């Protein structure tokens, strides 16, 4: 049976990151887009990261341009926008396919573990997956669920 730790992805610095690097952490995986109406959530995600990082909690942002072309920039512009406009200090990854025939294996696994309604596909930016310290997906949150509303779920598994 696969867990989160069986996957790898390319970070925004174009380096391969093994998810095993986050073993024993509580992880929140989010598909992001800097031009999305939900981009204000970057600030809330950063706040969660700052508040819980000492308890081995981490947010991982995966930019995706698959929803209304809301992440059209290159990696440098994504990194700059996230840092300057939203103060993002949590790890960001390279642009990732989160749906479709060429879906990244991590997102294929995440969506098969916790499907949405009416299908398992990610429907928009800022879909969030909460992963426990054993690498299992515990919850999936809709894009409309604000980061501050995740606190109880995060604290329950910290």
**Whole-angstrom distance, CA of residue 73 vs CA of residue 51:** 29
36 is catalytic: yes
**Whole-angstrom distance, CA of residue 8 vs CA of residue 20:** 8
Of 149, 112, 129, the closest CA to residue 19 belongs to 129
Of 111, 91, 99, the closest CA to residue 64 belongs to 99
Annotated active-site residue in 30, 36, 60, 82: 36
Counting other chains too, the contacts that 132-135 makes at CB distance below 8 Å and 24 or more residues apart are 132/26, 132/157, 133/23, 133/24, 133/25, 133/26, 133/56, 133/157, 134/3, 135/3, 135/4, 135/5, 135/6, 135/19, 135/23
Q: How many CB atoms lie within 10 A of CB 105?
A: 12
Could you list the active site residues?
36
């Amino acid at each position: 049976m696969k867990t989160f730790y069986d996957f790898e992805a390319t970070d925004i610095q174009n380096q391969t990151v093994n998810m095993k690097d986050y073993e024993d952490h509580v992880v929140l995986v989010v598909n992001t887009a800097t031009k999305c109406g939900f981009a204000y959530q970057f600030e809330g995600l950063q706040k969660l990261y700052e508040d819980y990082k000492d308890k081995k909690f981490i947010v991982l942002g995966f930019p995706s341009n698959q929803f209304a072309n809301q992440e059209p920039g290159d990696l440098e512009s994504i990194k700059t926008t996230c840092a300057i406009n939203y103060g993002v200090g949590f790890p960001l990854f390279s642009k990732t396919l989160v749906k479709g025939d060429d879906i990244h294996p991590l997102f294929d696994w995440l969506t098969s573990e916790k499907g949405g309604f009416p299908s398992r596909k990610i429907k928009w930016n800022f879909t969030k997956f909460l992963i426990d310290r054993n690498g299992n997906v515990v919850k999936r949150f809709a894009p409309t669920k604000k980061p501050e509303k995740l606190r109880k779920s995060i604290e329950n598994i910290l």
